[in-house]
Amino acid sequence: MYKTSLIALMLFFSTTLWAQQVEIISKQKISSDKKVIDLFVENNETILLTEEGEVLKVTTDGLVNRSKINGVKSFYEAKVNNTLPKNFDINRFSYLTRGNGIYYACFFDWSYSSSIIKIDALTGEETFFRYIVGTPGGLFISNGKVWYLGSNHIICYNENITNPSLYLFNIKTPLMDAKGLCIDEKGLYVTFENQTHSLIRFKVKGGQ
């Protein structure tokens, strides 16, 4: 009985802590059943990149159309608002994002050495930033903070702190097979939940 009560108490505090940190604002199911691997928001429209390399546009009323953006490289050029060098191998990385003239991206390795790296936008020089846990799901930068979406958590790092063991937040989420992470014009965090084919908007305690 004591053990049962202790487990119940731990679950209560865990649930309470989660509820204080993540608040789901909206869940918008879209008509496409394609698996989404990344996204960004532009001019009140959400741009989705599918596993097949197709780029889709979701309007505020949930309509899904094929975007004028064509292909993976064009998707990331639109996401970072910059032309990538001709020799830039976009297939080496995932979730490319940009902050202060520096690209950040996830490098996934099944040998447990997956990491976030920094890439000089002009020279292409790569610099280690952080080791990451789990399968990457999304990455973006806002106001000097690097936000990483893992399989069931979000970690926030200070862009200027070099100590790889330090982070600002490590928040568990209830998201299921979520891919892509960004912030919209209202300051809400946006991701795509593949299990329910839904765009999720949420708040994070202490975010931004």
Identify whether 15 is part of a domain.
Answer: yes
Residue range 117-163, pLDDT digits in tens: 999 888 888 899 998 878 899 999 988 899 999 988 899 999 888 78
pLDDT-based confidence at 31, cuts 50/70/90?
confident
Identify whether 74 is part of a domain.
Answer: no
Identify whether 151 is part of a domain.
Answer: yes
pLDDT of 112 reads: 65
Listed range (55-64, 93-102, 195-204) with the worst mean pLDDT: 55-64
Identify whether 52 is part of a domain.
Answer: no
Identify whether 58 is part of a domain.
Answer: no
Report the C-alpha gap between 43 and 39 in whole angstroms: 13
CATH number of 133's domain: 2.120.10.30
Identify whether 176 is part of a domain.
Answer: yes
Share of residues in the chain with pLDDT > 90 (%): 45
**Structural domain of residue 155, as residue ranges?**
2-34+83-204
Residue range 166-182, pLDDT digits in tens: 888 888 888 989 999 99
DSSP string, 91-151: GG-EEEEEETTEEEEEE--TTS--EEEEEETTT--EEEEEE--SS--EEEEETTEEEEE-S
**What's the whole-model pTM score?**
0.83
- Give the total number of structural domains in the chain: 1
Q: Average pLDDT, whole number, for the chain?
A: 84
